[in-house]
Structure 1
Amino acid sequence: MAAIFQHLSVDYSFENRIAVVTLRRPQVRNALNAHLIQELTEVFTQLSVNGQLHGVILTGEGKSFCAGADIKMMQEAVDYTAAQNIEEALRLSDMLHAINSFPCPVIARVNGDTLGGGVGLIAVCDIVIAAEHARLAFSEVKLGIAPAVISPYVLRKIGENMARVLFVTGERFSAARAHEIGLVHSVVPMEHIDDAVSRAVNELLSGGPQAIRACKALALQVGQMDTENGRRYTAEAIAQLRVSSEGQEGLRAFLEKRPPRFAISSQGSKEK
């Protein structure tokens, strides 16, 4: 990737099939400011056309994953007009949408405390692996505001019942409780978090790259379709995969009792 970012880094691993996006503002616990929000939107937009990718790992540098909104940005917002506040909120919404709709899976490596908008970040990830010491909170209410922009994504993960208590109290809760309510998928000791992430990555790498993307699209879209649209969409999805070179290879490999040899798409390959 040719772009150079100030507040995050992008690295590649597993023969360029996995991108690692790291928030790099450890001095403020990787808090979100306007610049970081813009960079996250840009990086996920750019990576979205990389056909080599099986997935992206999103994590934070230092002891925190993301502490929510930056204090300086909140200070500036005090003097914003209503229109300026709407514009800023829409930029955050665009960032969340870019990650949520990213064509292949995003793994959140939650290496520490995650507050406010940081919880929104993990809510738009597909696989969330958290260190057991991490604490989370929808802390906005303590500042006299609300987790409004992140709420559509959070509600899909934890439901109305849990949102009604956690939104209004702003209480901190453990990674274990986040797992219980569906916000986090697995909780491990910090010293084992990279092993857990590697296991998830290896599962992704064992699947067909186009099939993985089709599966994510199914998970995001089918639940919102009516019966007839869902019927047609799912039938077309499986038909397209079955006749594709990837689907043909996968089925032949299964019948021949050998590992599949999935081709890596050349579409949008990583820039040097």
Structure 2
Amino acid sequence: MEELVLYNVIDRIATITINRPEKRNALNPALVDALTLAFLQAEEDEQVKVIVLNANGGTFSAGADLEYLQQLQNNNFEENIADSNRLKKLFTTIYYLPKIVIAQVEGHAIAGGCGLATICDIIFATPESSFGYTEVKIGFVPAIVSCFLMQKVNETIAREILLTGKIFPAMQALEYNLINFVTNSAEINQKVKEFALSLCSESSGNSLMITKQLISQTTKPLLEKTLETAVQINARVRESADFKRGIASFLNKEKINW
């Protein structure tokens, strides 16, 4: 059985690769835990100064795994709290990590996959990449990622993309200030490497760490409290009739008329 996450270090750059291409790199509890452990490994790795998050196959991450969604229908409130906290732990691990995290997005980054990219410090994408917080379309809410998104894009944009659940291309994401760079697929590996190497060679590791802490602490001083609220909302909405109806329709590939 292949590993869900691959970890490799070259030239002080750790590459963390999501490795479920046969499932379009969809998220499930095992993958979320494996990603968290990989980032914690990179944090402790003295050979690592910068981290790149990418994915195998043609999709960065299609969101939640179908089997995982099916399981959610049977979870009780406490299980949903634990599951929401699992995703919160991954996102906060990346957000507070004392090393810079660069997302290399190729293909779709949808729902939880879009959230995963959003948390990273710097985001590169190809013109063919697409983004979307599609949770509202299946009776769910983008609760945890919304705590981070509001500091990346303005409220007008956040309301539009979270409430409509629309999927939008990389150039639109760039205009929204959600991502930093759009680079063609033939060059993205090299461009990401060059950017990471420049951070390694031109910036103090201690200064990078403290600057990242400064940004997180000054822009989101109430983040922990906000996240706790989001976890509760996440768990409660999973008990709603709309969530159960939306998930059932999604799993059965039926168009739902809300």
TM-score, normalised to structure 2, is: 0.82
> Map of 1:160-179 to 2, 5 A cutoff?
160-179=155-174
Q: 2:132 aligned with 1:137, yes or no?
A: yes
Question: Which residue does the alignment assign to 1:76?
Answer: 71
Q: Deviations over 1:151-173 (max 9, x none)?
A: 11122212321111111111110
Listed one character per residue, the Cα deviations across residues 137-187 of structure 1 (whole Å, up to 9, x for unaligned) are 111111111111211112221232111111111111010111111111000
The equivalent residue for 1:251 is none
Counterpart of 1:6 (choices 3, 6, 15) is 3
Q: Is the 8 A contact 2:5 2:38 kept in 1?
A: no
For the residues of structure 2 that align with 1:29 and 1:223, how far apart are their CA atoms?
33
For the residues of structure 1 that align with 2:151 and 2:62, how far apart are their CA atoms? 22
Cα offset, 1:220, TM superposition = 1.6
Mapping for residues 33-44 of structure 1, pairs under 5 Å: 33-44=28-39
* SS of equivalent residue, structure 1 residue 109: strand
Matched AA of 1:62:
G
The more displaced of 56-65 and 140-149 is: 140-149
Give 1:45-56 correspondences, 5 Å limit.
45-56=40-51
Percent identity of paired positions between Structure 1 and Structure 2: 32
What SS does the aligned partner of 2:52 have?
Answer: strand
Count of aligned pairs: 221
Check whether the contact 2:115–2:133 (CA below 8 A) recurs between aligned residues. no
Q: What secondary structure does 2:150 align onto?
A: helix
Question: Whole-Å Cα distance in 1 between the matches of residues 217 and 47 of structure 2?
Answer: 23
Q: Which has the larger radius of gyration?
A: 1
> How do residues 1-272 of structure 1 correspond to structure 2 at under 5 angstroms?
6-14=3-11, 17-206=12-201, 207-224=203-220
| Partner amino acid, structure 1, of 2:5 | L
Structure 1 gap segments, 5+ residues each: 226-272
Verify the 8 A CA contact 1:5 1:39 in the aligned structure 2: no
Aligned Cα root-mean-square deviation (Å): 1.7
Could you tell me how far 1:46 is from its partner in structure 2? 2.3
Structure 1 length normalisation: TM-score?
Answer: 0.78
Alpha-carbon separation, structure 1, partners of 2:77 and 2:211: 40
Which ranges in structure 2 are unaligned for 5 or more consecutive residues? 222-258
Q: Equivalent residue of 1:156, what SS? A: coil
**Contact 1:24 1:30 (C-alpha < 8 Å) held by counterparts:** yes
Q: Is the 8 A contact 1:157 1:182 kept in 2?
A: yes
Report the alpha carbon displacement of residue 70 of structure 1 after superposing the two structures with TM. 0.6
CA distance in 2, matches of 1:148, 1:223: 18
1:52 shift after superposition: 3.2
- Contact persistence 1:93–1:149 (CA under 8 A): yes
Which whole-Å deviations, capped at 9, do the CAs of 1:42-96 have from their partners, x for residues lacking one? 1112221223322100001000001111111001101111221111111111111
Alpha-carbon contact 1:54-1:212 (below 8 Å) kept: no
Contact 2:151/2:219, CA 8 A, preserved across alignment: no
Q: Residue 96 of structure 1 contacts residue 121 of structure 1 at CA under 8 Å; is this kept in 2?
A: yes
Alignment partner of 2:140: what SS?
coil
- CA gap of 1:34–1:224, structure 2 versus 1, over 3 A, is closer
